[in-house]
Amino acid sequence: MPLLEVRGLTKRFGGLIAVDDYRLDLPEGEIYGLIGPNGAGKTTVFNMITGFVRPDGGTVRFKDRDVTGLPPHRISELGIARTFQNLRIFRRLTVLENLLIGRHKSFSYSVADALLMTSRYGKEEGEGSKEVIEVMKELGIEDYSDRPAGELPYGIQRLVEIGRSLLTRPRLLMLDEPTAGMNPREAEDLISKVREIKESFDLTIWVVEHRMKVIQGLCSWVQVLDHGRIIAEGTYDQVMRDPKVIEVYLGGA
């Protein structure tokens, strides 16, 4: 039984079918990739799985339980974490404070709430903060702990967001274009970090990415989406040889 099983997932925005009959069997412990041109529907797939967008049709099963259409905080509690294509961190809060918010699963987006939450959790030392420190070390961001996140290089801000998602203790981690805004070196570095956190946190990972190097370096299985439909899937080498995929990536450009 796969960890995540998706069938017939569909989303319309007005007259546009953004995602059409999407399906997936994601086995535990794997790293899968989802690629496709801009506007293909990748983020909408992620949004439907994580409860940010309500599907018009289809089912999502996680750990053999129907989670279709549940709100984001429930999905998070059940063990699915994600990062966003457009980074969502609190720029004025420190790295540590941003991470502490992850421990409060259904984090709110108000800075005032966040500050309240972090001061409350900050007082509860012990196990919690040990976990936060472990995550910072794992991601190599412990030196930035007291710095406001917004002042840090983009690559580091991305790691802060990943760190926050890890602190919700997910089984499945979904990364939406994690190397966006990173330089090639930071992107290389992220590949090895993702491999490391997969092992240390015993994760299954699903990644949307534009950089083929990242997909090639990480994913055991890749799906290619175009105009909301899966046009190819297989290993990286298989999909890259597929004429339909070549057409999509080279044809219309």
Least distance (Å) between residue 114 CB and ligand ADP: 25
Taking CB under 5 A as the criterion, the residue among 4, 26, 34, 43 binding Mg ion is: 43
Which of residues 33 and 135 has its CB atom nearest to Mg ion in the complex?
Answer: 33
49 contact choice in ligand ADP, Mg ion, none (CB below 5 to 8 Å, kind-dependent)? none
**Residue 38 in contact with ligand ADP, rule: CB under 6 A:** yes
**Residue 83 in contact with Mg ion, rule: CB under 5 A:** no
- Binding segment toward ligand ADP, per CB under 6 A, in 12-20, 186-194, 229-237, 243-251: 12-20
36 contact choice in ligand ADP, Mg ion, none (CB below 5 to 8 Å, kind-dependent)? ligand ADP
Taking CB under 6 A as the criterion, the residue among 33, 41, 163, 170 binding ligand ADP is: 41
Give the 3-state DSSP-derived string for the chain, with helices as H, strands as E and coil as C.
CCCEEEEEEEEEECCEEEEEEEEEEECCCCEEEEECCCCCCHHHHHHHHCCCCCCCEEEEEECCEECCCCCHHHHHHHCEEECCCCCCCCCCCEHHHHHHHHHCCCCCCCHHHHHHHHHHHHHCCCHHHHHHHHHHHHHCCHHHCCCEHHHCCHHHHHHHHHHHHHCCCCCEEEEECCCCCCCHHHHHHHHHHHHHHHHHCCCEEEEECCCHHHHHHHCCEEEEEECCEEEEEECHHHHHHCHHHHHHHHHCC
Least distance (Å) between residue 31 CB and Mg ion: 19
40 contact choice in ligand ADP, Mg ion, none (CB below 5 to 8 Å, kind-dependent)? ligand ADP
* 69 vs 228: CA distance, rounded Å: 19
Least distance (Å) between residue 209 CB and Mg ion: 10
CA distances (Å), origin 169, targets 64, 173, 200, 238:
19, 9, 12, 33
Which of residues 43 and 50 has its CB atom nearest to ligand ADP in the complex?
Answer: 43
- Binding segment toward ligand ADP, per CB under 6 A, in 24-32, 36-44, 104-112, 132-140: 36-44
Number of chain residues interacting with ligand ADP (CB under 6 A):
11
**Residue 82 in contact with ligand ADP, rule: CB under 6 A:** no
Provide the binding-site residues for Mg ion, judged by CB under 5 A: 42-43, 85
Contact positions vs ligand ADP (CB under 6 A): 13, 16, 18, 36, 38-44
